[in-house]
Structure 1
Amino acid sequence: MVSSSDVRRLFLQAVISRRVLSYKLANVIWRKCIDAVKVPREDDRTAWDSFTGKVNESLNPLDLEFRHLHDELTGREMYALVNRKGDEVAQFATDYTPAEIAYFKAIVEQIMLAPHESFSVSSLAALREVNFLKTNMSKTQAEVVLGSFVANGWLLKSQRGRYSLSTRSLLELLPYLKSTYPDEVIECTICLEILTRGVSCHTRNCKVRLHEHCFNNYKRIHSTCPSCNESWTNSSKKLVPVGEGAVKDGQDFNRRVRKKQTDEGSEGEEEEDDDDELEESQEPSQAKGKKGKAKAKTNGRSRKSEEEAENSGADDGMDVDEDEVPKRSQRKSRR
């Protein structure tokens, strides 16, 4: 005797063979499973939502979920069978090595911490992450692994050569992203789903963020911001892009790191990358150059004129750092 559980079992068998599928395809599979089992069929959305709810009840003991999310580029509703736990046991189910998983997490971190809410990272910055991992992975190997991340639907690569999170990553990594990057994860004001590409209100400090498809639906009825009520049609200011369009080439040259909780409960920064060390190593030479210019400009001056210039806080023709002024006065007081 057939039952609705047979429909769910047959449906899951069909879904497991696919990575991510659209609502349209998932609905077709569902109806075919109903026809195969020969139970009464209901085609409305309410029946579908009830069916997926029962599917997730069956998956709960396995820490699996049939999760849905709208594609940020097309607006299509997408579904995937995802693992709700990211422990070591779950990682055994992947074809990637621990080193490759660590590399993927490092790229995800740079995407989530990208400046200006760009949520993307350049190819150069992605390859540079290999230098900060305790692995023997070469940059040539990293290029191959990056290609597999794109081929398997974990990352998207744009024409500009920038990497961003795919719908599959957003579906499967949503709990991880929210727990690891709570301050960086933003949600669409309309659909309340995670947002890594779209538009934001041009008003300063306004928190409104919209997917492109949500914005297109919203502006058909409304012409003002849903939060600050600023006009989006008559204003000369354009909406600010969120995602790759928010960053210019070279703006993510400096590597960013996530703040970690220390044992005492306070936040501490991880070590910065070699770019910052390079900048620090350049500072002494720059300071030395400034001192050389200062000596050249003070040649021929008397001791008295030098002291007058020191008291005034600046030499003629020099830009003085305000932080150096108290230091000079302290040196003078010691004389």
Structure 2
Amino acid sequence: MVSSNDVNKLFLQAVLSRRLISTDLGKVLWKKAIQAVQAVDDNLQIPYNGTEEGWGDFVGALNTTLNPLDLELSRLHDENTGIEMYALVNRKGDEVAQLASDYSPLEIAYFKALVEQIMLAPNASYSISSLAALRESSTLKSAMSKTQAETVLASFVTKGWLHKSLKGRYSLATRTLLELLPYLKSTYPDEILECVICYEILTRGKGCYTPNCNVRIHDHCHTKYRQGNSKCPSCQHDWASETNAKKLIWIGEKAAGADDPRRRARRRSTVDGSDDEDDEPSQSQAMDDDETPEPTQTQRNKRSKAKRSASVSQADETMEVDEDEEEEAPRPRRSGRRG
């Protein structure tokens, strides 16, 4: 015999099969669940009855039912689009372990290492390059091959755990921010930023350019805020002029490689669970932003020699030839090499 609780069951099954849904899709699934139950018993009284006004009450009542199971239908705005999204999340225990049903322990360790590097990325860029992501796989206790790492990375993107930009940089996707939010807040409390408008976690957006002003805001929240306001919500500095608008600080991928002397302390989790901190990034870490290594001493010497022996235009041409030869052509053998 059907009951109004069957609406909850059908709705939750639909959510679990999709993992992440928008508010609009959630309302459609809710109404479909009501129609399915009423098709069996059209005299059944169903609370809220699928009305637009009843959606919030339905979610609240559903979460009350899920509370003893430490589950919650949680919502978060997508940082790229501003669309409100919902997911069924676990609010107790090790949230990273939620990946265990889909991935092996080694792959989970790889994901956790990627999350750490993204959260500790310099300049609040909250992203890492493809090169850095692949290199992270070699730091695991059981190192992955490059091919394996590429396959797993693609899977993380396909299943909504990571976002890969057109520039090839990886950042945390909405699904990860929703499902692992308690883990992120407890593990990286000093790295968490919140939007001053919606009070949700922020890994992509803008910040006020005024010194000592801590205002950080999502791009979509900034767009709505600027429709009726022209000043910073905290320090009241003008944001309206084109000049001041360009001064706003980037947060997220656009901040990668920015000219900012401040560096976050990078914590490398060791196998035994201890943490090591480095005040300055290593040479390989410094390459994360643009994937371009610093010139070697040999390259510097060649450039200096070229400048001294020719004009400026000839020097530029010589430098290009030297760099191409060093990267593509093998080193010439020394004359007089002993056999």
TM-score (norm 2): 0.73
Q: Which of 34, 51, 72 is the matching residue for 2:58?
A: 51
Name the aligned partner's letter for residue 249 of structure 2. V
Per-residue deviation at 1:77? 0.6
- Counterpart for residue 243 of structure 1: 252
Per-residue deviation at 1:197? 0.2
Per-residue deviation at 1:226? 0.2
Aligned length: 273
Per-residue deviation at 1:259? 8.0
Question: Pairwise mapping of residues 260-275 of structure 1 onto structure 2 (< 5 A)?
Answer: 269-270=276-277, 275=282
Per-residue deviation at 1:149? 0.6
User: Residue 85 of structure 2: SS of its match in structure 1?
Assistant: strand
User: Residue 236 of structure 1: SS of its match in structure 2?
Assistant: helix
Describe the shift of the 1:88–1:77 C-alpha distance in structure 2 as closer, same or farther (beyond 3 A): closer
Contact between 1:119 and 1:164, CA under 8 Å: does it hold in 2?
Answer: yes
Describe the shift of the 1:92–1:172 C-alpha distance in structure 2 as closer, same or farther (beyond 3 A): closer
Question: Pairwise mapping of residues 62-211 of structure 1 onto structure 2 (< 5 A)?
Answer: 62-87=69-94, 90-91=97-98, 93-211=100-218
1:220 pairs with 2:220: no
Per-residue deviation at 1:62? 2.3
Per-residue deviation at 1:139? 2.2
User: Residue 108 of structure 1: SS of its match in structure 2?
Assistant: helix
What are the superposed Cα offsets for residues 111-159 of structure 1, whole Å, 9 maximum, x if unpaired?
1011111110011111111232111312221111111111111101111
- Counterpart for residue 16 of structure 1: 16
- Counterpart for residue 306 of structure 2: none
Query: What RMSD, in angstroms, separates the aligned Cα atoms of the two structures?
Result: 3.1
What are the superposed Cα offsets for residues 202-230 of structure 1, whole Å, 9 maximum, x if unpaired?
11121111111111110010000000000
Q: Between Structure 1 and Structure 2, whose CA radius of gyration is higher?
A: 1
Per-residue deviation at 1:188? 0.4
Inter-partner Cα distance in structure 2 for 1:159 and 1:218:
28
Per-residue deviation at 1:35? 2.0
Question: Pairwise mapping of residues 307-318 of structure 1 onto structure 2 (< 5 A)?
Answer: none
User: Residue 195 of structure 1: SS of its match in structure 2?
Assistant: coil
Per-residue deviation at 1:88? 8.9
Describe the shift of the 1:80–1:104 C-alpha distance in structure 2 as closer, same or farther (beyond 3 A): same
Name the aligned partner's letter for residue 170 of structure 1. L
Describe the shift of the 1:44–1:270 C-alpha distance in structure 2 as closer, same or farther (beyond 3 A): same
Contact between 2:34 and 2:49, CA under 8 Å: does it hold in 1?
Answer: no
Name the aligned partner's letter for residue 25 of structure 1. L
User: Residue 220 of structure 1: SS of its match in structure 2?
Assistant: coil
- Counterpart for residue 332 of structure 1: none
Describe the shift of the 1:17–1:156 C-alpha distance in structure 2 as closer, same or farther (beyond 3 A): same
Per-residue deviation at 1:273? 10
Contact between 1:110 and 1:256, CA under 8 Å: does it hold in 2?
Answer: no
5+ residue gaps, structure 1:
261-266, 280-285, 287-335
- Counterpart for residue 289 of structure 1: none
What are the superposed Cα offsets for residues 229-262 of structure 1, whole Å, 9 maximum, x if unpaired?
00001362321111101112899xx9963288xx
Per-residue deviation at 1:199? 0.8
Name the aligned partner's letter for residue 215 of structure 1. H
Per-residue deviation at 1:81? 1.2
What are the superposed Cα offsets for residues 272-324 of structure 1, whole Å, 9 maximum, x if unpaired?
99946999xxxxxx9xxxxxxxxxxxxxxxxxxxxxxxxxxxxxxxxxxxxxx
Identify the range of structure 1 (193-202 vs 81-90) with the bigger mean alpha-carbon deviation: 81-90
Describe the shift of the 1:270–1:166 C-alpha distance in structure 2 as closer, same or farther (beyond 3 A): same
User: Residue 75 of structure 2: SS of its match in structure 1?
Assistant: strand
Describe the shift of the 1:61–1:196 C-alpha distance in structure 2 as closer, same or farther (beyond 3 A): same
Inter-partner Cα distance in structure 1 for 2:278 and 2:191:
20
Inter-partner Cα distance in structure 2 for 1:65 and 1:96:
23
TM-score (norm 1): 0.73
5+ residue gaps, structure 2:
39-44, 287-296, 298-339
Describe the shift of the 1:223–1:250 C-alpha distance in structure 2 as closer, same or farther (beyond 3 A): closer
What are the superposed Cα offsets for residues 45-79 of structure 1, whole Å, 9 maximum, x if unpaired?
54211111121122223222211100111111101
- Counterpart for residue 4 of structure 2: 4
Inter-partner Cα distance in structure 2 for 1:268 and 1:172:
24
User: Residue 101 of structure 2: SS of its match in structure 1?
Assistant: coil
% identical aligned pairs: 59
Inter-partner Cα distance in structure 1 for 2:207 and 2:259:
22
